[in-house]
């Protein structure tokens, strides 16, 4: 028997050893990858996690930690890290044109500042491929061949083969046919092959895939002075506090870098006219949407629960099953069905219910808001119906009978006894429902996408709530403002947390009635 236990323990240890070896291998690879990209915080977190995993799983005394560690790891990755990074980004200018470091911005400005040399001669060009990398094989004015690639300066290619007077092939490379040129046209037109080791030497580019031309940089970077000089007019662009190169007239180069800007994102929401108006409008509508959705769905669910709880109602089980269907049906499908119902030309509402009326349900601002609330109540009232049914059935009938004997009417019994007792058990759920509706992105975006917009350039639509407003700032439009979106996300968190804390404190007084 001891031998059997020893064999089982040995097999378990070998299995654990293999699994931990796999985890360690993946972890070490991730650490090396993070270190190579200078992500020091991520690398340090991975090292600490690997050490903790090995200590816990090879210890005989840390049994509870073996179950807790995976959950703690994913909590740190998917919750704590996300919140911390959002908080960090909220105090930066992170967004389009400010996505990376200053060195990356300098490299991008240099790469995008080349202009064709006026009246420069063209080089007959053949586009080659090696692996998945492209290269330019050009014929020099003296008839010799030269080769250049994205990371290889122009160099002689004496081994090149010619067709007539044009270099058309090189050993080790594949010459692209016309079909391949058309298929990879965007890559070919974007390729910049340097003419020399120094970026000021210029690059070779092609506008058509058959002829290459010399391009020289218009903006030249001076590393010692840390500025760019425009060679065409002599303007000097110097780094500014907001992460851009700016000249004396205030004109900035397009590419910038990420910098810490303090509370500027938060103050701009409240002070800049282009943001202040939309923000307050969206904030008010968010409260209206969340409060009305919770209140209407709760009282509708409660009313149905009270009716179907009465013993005189026949077929209560069937009715309850039917009322649960909107809750059981996938939410995104429900929204899509309602979107079809409200279609102004072919929707059921206009063609059947209203006899062919032409009502723009989802393109009129006020009707769109009404539709959003109606659809959201339709999807959420079954949940309120379920919790209200359970809460009603848990109430003591002796209290109701005593109140009835004392002469209280049904409305007095409901208002003074049933409703307060129901709120004791349902108030926490109402608070969580409010928080959910405050951030109910799916219902808004899938039904109206936050619209309609009064003007195409508006920052917010008529049905945008704060979370869809954040999405619009971060992922829609031409200028994506990630830092500003993160700042508003932090404001949403503070608002919801404050309201929830105050609401839970108020529910304490309700519990005294129980």
Domain ranges of the chain: 2-89, 114-217, 270-511
Report which DSSP code applies to 209: S
pLDDT tens string 13-41? 788 889 999 999 999 999 999 998 878 88
Of 367, 333, 360, 335, the C-alpha closest to 345 is 360
pLDDT tens string 290-348? 999 999 999 999 999 988 888 888 888 888 888 888 888 888 888 989 999 999 999 99
| Half-sphere CA count of 96, side-chain side, radius 13 A | 10
270-511: what fold? MetI-like fold (1.10.3720)
Of 30, 16, 134, 126, the C-alpha closest to 73 is 30
Helices 365-393, 273-308: axis angle to 10 degrees equals 40
| DSSP string computed for 412-450 | HHIIIIIHHHHHHHHHHHHHHHHHHHHT-HHHHHHHTTT
114-217: what fold? Periplasmic binding protein-like II (2.40.430)
Q: Is residue 3 very low, low, confident or very high in pLDDT (cuts 50, 70, 90)?
A: low
pLDDT tens string 430-455? 989 999 999 999 889 999 999 898 88
pTM, two decimal places? 0.80
CATH code for the part of the protein at 2-89: 1.20.58
Alpha-carbon gap, residue 353 to 340, rounded angstroms: 14
């Amino acid at each position: 028997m001891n031998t059997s236990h020893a064999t089982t323990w040995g097999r378990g240890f070998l299995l654990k050893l293999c699994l931990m070896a796999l985890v360690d291998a993946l972890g070490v690879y991730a650490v090396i990858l993070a270190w190579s990209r200078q992500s020091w915080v991520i690398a340090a977190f991975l090292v600490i996690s690997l050490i903790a995993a090995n200590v816990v799983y090879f210890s005989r005394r840390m049994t509870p930690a073996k179950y807790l560690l995976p959950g703690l790891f994913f909590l740190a990755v998917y919750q704590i890290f996300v919140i911390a990074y959002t908080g960090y980004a909220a105090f930066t200018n992170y967004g389009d044109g400010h996505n990376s470091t200053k060195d990356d911005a300098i490299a991008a400005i240099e790469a995008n500042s080349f202009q064709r040399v006026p009246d420069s001669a063209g080089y007959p060009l053949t586009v080659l491929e090696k692996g998945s990398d492209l290269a330019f094989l050009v014929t020099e004015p003296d008839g010799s061949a030269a080769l250049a690639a994205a990371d290889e300066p122009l160099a002689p290619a004496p081994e090149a083969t010619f067709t007539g007077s044009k270099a058309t092939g090189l050993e080790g490379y594949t010459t692209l046919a016309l079909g391949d040129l058309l298929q990879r046209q965007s890559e070919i037109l974007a390729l910049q092959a340097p003419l020399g080791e120094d970026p000021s030497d210029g690059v070779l580019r092609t506008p058509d895939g058959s002829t290459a031309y010399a391009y020289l940089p218009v903006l030249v970077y001076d590393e010692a002075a840390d500025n760019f000089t425009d060679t065409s007019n002599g303007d000097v662009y110097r780094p500014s506090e907001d992460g851009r190169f700016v000249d004396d007239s205030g004109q900035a180069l397009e590419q910038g870098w990420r910098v810490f800007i303090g509370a500027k994102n938060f103050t701009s929401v409240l002070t800049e006219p282009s943001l202040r108006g939309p923000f307050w409008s969206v904030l008010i509508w968010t409260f209206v949407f969340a409060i009305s959705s919770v209140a209407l769905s709760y009282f509708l669910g409660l009313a149905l629960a009270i009716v179907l709880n009465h013993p005189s109602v026949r077929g209560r089980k069937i009715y309850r099953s039917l009322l649960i269907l909107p809750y059981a049906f996938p939410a995104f499908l429900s929204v899509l069905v309602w979107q079809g119902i409200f279609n102004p030309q072919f929707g059921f509402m206009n063609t059947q219910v209203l006899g062919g009326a032409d009502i723009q349900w989802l393109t009129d601002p006020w009707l769109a808001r009404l539709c959003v609330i109606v659809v959201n109540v339709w999807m959420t009232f079954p949940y309120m119906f379920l919790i209200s049914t359970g809460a009603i059935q848990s109430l003591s009938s002796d209290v109701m009978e005593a109140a009835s004997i004392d002469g209280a009417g049904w409305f007095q019994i409901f208002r003074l006894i049933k409703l307060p007792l129901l709120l004791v058990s349902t108030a926490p759920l109402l608070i969580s429902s409010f928080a959910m509706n405050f951030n109910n992105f799916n219902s808004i975006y899938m039904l109206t996408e936050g619209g309609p917009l009064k003007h195409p350039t508006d920052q917010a639509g008529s049905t945008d709530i704060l979370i869809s407003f954040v999405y619009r700032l971060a992922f829609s439009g031409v200028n994506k403002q990630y830092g500003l979106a993160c700042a508003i996300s932090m404001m949403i968190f503070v608002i919801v947390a404050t309201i929830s804390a105050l609401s839970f404190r108020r529910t304490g007084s309700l519990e005294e009635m129980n």
